[in-house]
Amino acid sequence: MASAAEPHILLVDDERSIRDPLAQYLAKNGLRVTKAADAAAARQALAAYGVDLILLDVMMPGEDGLSLCAHVRATSGIPVILLTAKAEETERIVGLEIGADDYVVKPFSPRELLARIKVVLRRAGERPSRSRPAGAEAFAFGRWVLKTGERELVDAEGVAVPLSTGEYNLLLALVTHPRRVLTRDQLLDLAQGRELAAFERSIDNAVSRLRRKIEAEPKQPQLVKTVWGGGYMLAAEVTRL
């Protein structure tokens, strides 16, 4: 493995006009970058070096990114972030289901990509033994299923209940920590996936909106319970599907 101070990134993209400036940008920001122009070169690089994370373009001539991602997932625990030119929902979900840890849609902000790389690296560092990363998962609780690939909440009858980004992150934090009291600060920490400065003001509002959407009787919540003096808790069995 490369040194912890300088994570080693394998950048796989057939477009030189992206590969070169992106590698330059990432190197400038403290990452060691190895470039590969196609899947074959990427496989060679994987065999030759210890890699901490793979940035993988989906659409490539020859073997495509999804196929390479599946191979990486089957043979190692190296996290993968997909670079895709398609904003199509299905593409994204397929990528996450194959086992990618995250994805960014071209054109992306390099700063945002850098932030995501750091998040994924941190998660991989926290759970070194886990080979199955949090790509596309589904959590069943009560009569609900939260799907992280589609980022949607579906009830027992298959009706999708759209959530705002903040509500989604909050619910994800709750279902990934079932039957644990989470303080407002902890929730903020967990739910703050990205720049949600304005979200801070209203954890309580978000909880009451969530309750209205998922509780049978929002006034007497059975799923998201308030713990006096503590915070909130998901009072339900959560099953990973």
Binding residues for other proteins, per CB under 8 A? 15, 17-18, 21-22, 24-25, 28, 59, 85-90, 106-111, 152, 157-167, 196-199, 206, 209, 212-213
- Strand pairing of 182-183 and 224-227? unpaired
Nearer to other proteins, 3 or 90 (CB): 90
> Cβ 178 to other proteins, closest distance in Å?
22
Nearer to other proteins, 49 or 108 (CB): 108
> Cβ 87 to other proteins, closest distance in Å?
7
Strand order in the sheet with 182-183: 182-183, 231-234, 224-227
Nearer to other proteins, 71 or 147 (CB): 147
> Cβ 180 to other proteins, closest distance in Å?
25
> Cβ 156 to other proteins, closest distance in Å?
12
Angle between helices 165-176 and 203-214 (to 10 degrees): 80
Nearer to other proteins, 133 or 199 (CB): 199
Residue 2 phi/psi, 5-degree rounding, is: -70, 165
> Cβ 130 to other proteins, closest distance in Å?
30
User: Does a cis peptide bond (omega within 30 degrees of 0) precede residue 107?
Assistant: yes
- Long-range contacts formed by 182-186: CB under 8 A, 24+ apart: 182/231, 182/232, 182/233, 183/230, 183/231, 184/231, 184/232, 186/231
Nearer to other proteins, 86 or 127 (CB): 86
Nearer to other proteins, 141 or 144 (CB): 144
Residue 229: CB atoms within 10 Å = 7
What residue type is 27 in one-letter code?
A: A
> Cβ 72 to other proteins, closest distance in Å?
22
